[in-house]
Structure 1
């Protein structure tokens, strides 16, 4: 699955809005901090990671 640049930007924006560190954001999503770093830059991730990230992103909307 592909995290687009727009999705990565939205993830970074939510992280900033909630004033979360990368570590805390990754914990909330339920992924490894190293994987989270990959997510916020956009790119290819496993389907399970993609699902977790998108669920976290849509959580407050």
Structure 2
């Protein structure tokens, strides 16, 4: 498991705000559940490797 640090959570929230996306748009793009996405945005939460990979790829895209 990989941990979503508070810094990663902040980067996710910032990118979502910069792109003007709703939470639903982001978790749909990432193909994860709403519940998991809410935990990710809060930070300090361990996620499976495949979810961590989806998040890091999304963060790196367009930056």
Normalised by the length of structure 1, the TM-score is 0.93
* Structure 1 portions without partners, runs of 5+: none
Residues paired across the two proteins, number: 61
Kindly state the Cα deviation for residue 3 of structure 1 after the two structures are TM-superposed. Answer: 0.6
Which contiguous aligned blocks of 4+ residues in structure 1 show a shift greater than 2 angstroms?
none
How large is the RMSD of aligned CA atoms in angstroms? 0.8
**Equivalent residues in 2 for 1:1-61, closer than 5 Å:** 1-42=2-43, 43-61=45-63
Normalised by the length of structure 2, the TM-score is 0.90
